[in-house]
Chain A
Amino acid sequence: MSNPTVKSADGWAMFDLALRYLDRIYLYGAPGLGKTYAATHSRMDQSRFKTVQREVVNATLSDDIVLQELIGHYMPKGTEFVWHDGPVITAMRSGQLLVLNELARASAAVKDAMLGVLDGGSTAIPLPSGEIVTPAQGFQVVATANSSTDDLDPALLDRFEAVIWVSTPHPQMIAALDSEVKGLGTAVEASFKDSPERAISPRSAFTFTKLIKAGVNPKQSAQLAFGQRSADIVAAFKLAGVGAAA
């Protein structure tokens, strides 16, 4: 049994709502939609954290990331070894927001360890020193992934209080693109109304704006940013009145 996925057109609004009230959220969607951006930026205005000065702790996972890199390990210092907290323990101790990027790509050992980290109120992580770390107030985890929940163990998935799917770029990314090049964000957003394979990656769109701002001509900027589809994309931009292309 696992949490049902929230699949709705207003996935970002649901995510903002979940972030306000829940501690463990799984957010997934196509690459480049701004999942990490949303996880690290949206929480700053949440009223529940107003009195706590916190930072976001980010960890991007892959098959090669070992547990010690996340939990912590001893490091040589002079003639002795001293314990060094990893990002997970750092976030737990200080009640910070832990963003775990690409959880689905983590090794089996890391995923198993996350069962303990995501155990809610009963979370307690024993360290080699004998210390047992429990999360301070305010500890919150947002895990992001490109793939659906199929790649996650049901027990791990069940530990998330909400599983949210997003299918469009984050509204703040759209606004950022629009402010860089008039109409660009809106055009990129419109491309997501079609199948994901035909949508324009916001990352590519940011590359396009970077080149335009550097003075590269629109045609070459588009070729570098969008590759073979550049002519089609520029034509669509021109018709839609996107600033730099038109």
Chain B
Amino acid sequence: MPQTRSKRARKSKPTDVPIPAIPAGKGPFNVREMPPGFGASTNTLSPENTLYVPLGYDKESRAIRFHEYAHLELGKVRPDLAKYLDKAVKDKKQPIDPQWLQAGLDVIVNSMAQARDIEEIADLPLDDPKPTTPEYTQAMWLLRKLSLTQGRVPRNNKLPSDETAQVQNVYQGLLNLGQNYTHRQDKLDDKQYADYIAQALRKLQSFYDTKEAISKLKMSPSIAGMTNMMLRQALDGEGLSGKAITKMLGSESPFDITHKGPKAHYMYSDGKDSGWGTMSIVTLSMDAMARRRAPERKPSYVGGFRNAFRALLPAMDGRAWAIRRNKMGGTILLDMSGSMSLEPSDIVKLLKTAPLAQIAGYSGNKTTGTMWIMAKGGRYHNGIPEHPGNNVIDGPALRWLSQQPKPRVWISDGQVTGTGDGMQTHLLADAIGIVSRGDIERYHTIDAYLLGQPGDDTPYEE
């Protein structure tokens, strides 16, 4: 007898790990995974409470989640704070830039967590600033860093001593606000609390003349972070479509996912171009012949309609039989980066279901990459070529795929990178555009492809 859902042992999913309702004091939450490095966010102001965080048990993922819990706790204890801070951002005389505000709030919530003995918060990842990073960005970095080192100035701080002292001064003010964040502790109402935050941040903002610096940016980091999140969902076939994201970002968007002409010119905060690596194509010798076998029977619910007589004799799993439909041709593009762990037997597996397919794999390092044609016309190269472990050339490889015979399949975890193996918002956008326009179907793994599970085939069961 088939088990009912209630009797089936429930398997916990990664999205069951976080516990946002306690610090938020409300729910339910829509919890979605954001890989470490893609930022995290929470929103309890919209009707649907959302929490985008890494879901692993590693130190970094935990620290990010706990940081977000502290944001939720602050929102619960001070429900009107967001409203007053929003006014400070829109203030006509002295508007606070959202980037400074985010840095200030991060310091407050980190201090809150440390005041509550949540030691894990010290594991929050915070990449060191590059030498070319503008000074105001370095000051934001130092402000956040101080909240993780309990006020100790890190060795790699590049700011002059007077600027460092300014940042330390503001940090102390925010630290006090974080350590005594409840009404009972500091006797401040939400408006007064918001005023203190704004007052502290205005000091730094005016010092660095942020307005001028920001005008040089093509895209603010906060918008880049949100866009990244939405684009990753779009790549998984969820959330907003690429077209809708482009439309939503409007004039602030430096890219057009739906573009049909030349690629837009992208620039970053440090003023440098960033893009895909240069791709070279190598066709490998194909000495082995793919086996073409007779169509295989497999258990299936459709068997009853195809072969009614056999369906009356169910297999031991209660299902009837159907003929496995082979995928005969088309083009398969394999992401060979380290995260995909490709093995020689994988090619043979693919050829069993698609013996006439053209199969290519790619990977890169630093600024260049190679795409190897490994199978074509029923013949294949026996083995996997030596390859570097990064992506770098996802874009050019996908462009190649979009011009090959259909069906076009891309087997990748979707972690696209450009030169220096960096994950960049505009590269993600470009990849989505190619996938969408090129009628390309993405599978996370080879096994997912063989099972016919496109898109977000998360490795857990509902």
Residue of A nearest to B57 (CB): A228
Which of the candidate stretches A90-98, A193-201, A206-214 sits at the interface with the other chain?
A193-201
Query: B118-156: which residues lie under 8 A (CB-CB) from chain A?
Result: 118, 120
Task: List residues of B (414-458) whose CB comes within 8 Å of A's CBs.
Answer: none
B16 partner, pick from A146, A187, A197, beta carbons under 8 A: A197
Measured in the bound complex, the distance between the Cα atoms of B65 and A231 in whole Å is 10
Q: Does A10 contact B (CB under 8 A)?
A: no
* A-side contacts of B23, CB under 8 Å: 236, 239-240
Shortest CB-to-CB span from B21 to chain A, Å, is 4
B13 within 8 A of A: yes
**Which B residue's beta carbon lies closest to that of A147?**
B6
Task: Tell me how far the C-beta of A53 lies from the nearest C-beta in chain B, rounded to whole angstroms.
Answer: 38
Cβ of A197 and Cβ of B12 under 8 Å apart? Answer: yes
Question: A240 contacts B13, CB within 8 Å?
Answer: no
User: In the assembled complex, how far is the CB of residue B69 from the closest CB belonging to chain A, in whole angstroms?
Assistant: 6
B92 interface residue per 8 A CB criterion: no
Q: Which of A187, A191, A232, A237 contacts B17 (CB 8 A)?
A: A232
Q: Which of A148, A187, A198, A231 contacts B62 (CB 8 A)?
A: A231
Interface contact A235-B6, CB-CB below 8 Å: no
Q: Which of A78-105 touch B at CB < 8 Å?
A: 104
Q: Interface digits, B99-126 against A, CB 8 Å rule (1 contact, 0 not)? A: 0000000000000110011101000000
Which residue in B12, B17, B27, B116 is a CB contact (below 8 Å) of A193? B27
A246 to B62, CA, bound (A): 18
**CA distance in complex: A187, B24 (Å):** 10
- Chain A residues with Cβ under 8 A from B18's Cβ? 198, 232
A210 to chain B, nearest CB (A): 21
In the complex, A229 has a CB within 8 A of chain B: yes
Over the window 330-350 of chain B, the binary record of Cβ atoms lying under 8 Å from chain A Cβ atoms (1 yes, 0 no) is 000000000000000000000
Q: Are A191 and B19 in contact (CB under 8 A)?
A: yes
Q: Is A231 within 8 A of B27, CB to CB?
A: no
Known: A197-B12, A197-B13. A236 touches B19 (CB 8 A): yes
Check if B70 is an interface residue, CB within 8 A of chain A. Answer: yes
Q: Which A residues from 213 to 245 make CB contacts under 8 A with B? A: 228-229, 231-233, 235-241
Known: A190-B21, A191-B21, A232-B18. A239 touches B12 (CB 8 A): no
Return the chain B residue nearest A183 by Cβ: B22
Which single residue of chain A is at the shortest CB-CB distance from B70? Answer: A239
* Residue among B17, B22, B112 with the highest chain A CB neighbour number at 10 A: B22
Q: Is the CB of B19 within 8 A of A231?
A: no
A222 to nearest B CB, angstroms? Answer: 12
Measured CB to CB, the closest approach of chain B to A229, in angstroms, equals: 6
Q: Interface range on chain B: under 10, 10 to 19, 20 to 34, or 35 or more?
A: 20 to 34
Given contacts A200-B19, A240-B22, contact A246 B6 (CB under 8 A): no
Give the shortest distance, in Å, between B205 (CB) and chain A (any CB).
29
Known contacts A191-B22, A194-B29, A200-B19; is-contact A232 B113 (Cβ 8 Å): no
CA distance A151 to B118 in the complex (A): 44
* Chain B residue with the shortest CB-CB distance to A146: B6
Q: Contacts A190-B25, A193-B21, A246-B116 given; indicate if A232 touches B12 (C-beta within 8 A).
A: no
Name the CB-closest residue of B to A231: B62
Determine whether A45 belongs to the interface, using a CB cutoff of 8 Å to chain B.
no
Number of A-B contacts (CB under 8 A): 91
A198 to B28, CA, bound (A): 10
What residues of chain A lie closer than 8 Å to B21, measured between beta carbons? 190-194, 198-199
- A192 smallest CB distance to B (angstroms): 8
CA distance A195 to B66 in the complex (A): 19
- A150 interface hit (Cβ, 8 Å): yes
Cα–Cα distance between A24 and B309 once the two chains are bound (Å): 49
List chain B residues, Cβ under 8 A from A194: 19-21, 27-29
Residues A190 and B28 in contact in the complex (CB < 8 Å), given A151-B4, A231-B120: no
Q: Is B90 positioned at the interface, with any CB of A under 8 Å from its CB?
A: no
CB distance from A228 to the nearest CB of B (A): 6
Nearest CB of chain A from residue B63's CB, rounded to whole Å: 10
* Given A151-B4, A151-B6, A237:B13 Cβ within 8 A: no
Residue of B17, B27, B29, B116 touching A239 (CB-CB under 8 A)? B116
CA–CA, A161 and B275, complex, Å: 68
A232 touches B19 (CB 8 A): yes
Contact A229–B19 (Cβ < 8 Å):
yes
Q: How far is the CB of A199 from chain B (nearest CB, A)?
A: 8
Return A156 CB to nearest CB of chain B, in Å.
16
Q: Given A231-B57, A235-B120, 11 more contacts at CB 8 Å? A: A147-B4, A191-B19, A193-B25, A200-B19, A231-B62, A231-B120, A232-B18, A232-B19, A238-B116, A238-B118, A239-B73
Interface residues of B (CB under 8 A from A): 4, 6-7, 10, 12-13, 16-23, 25-29, 31, 57, 62, 65-66, 69-70, 73, 112-113, 116-118, 120
Q: Can you spell out 11 A-B residue pairs with CB atoms less than 8 angstroms apart?
A: A150-B4, A151-B4, A190-B22, A191-B19, A193-B21, A194-B28, A198-B18, A198-B21, A232-B17, A235-B69, A235-B113
Interface set of A (CB-CB < 8 Å, partner B): 104, 146-148, 150-151, 187, 190-195, 197-200, 228-229, 231-233, 235-241, 246
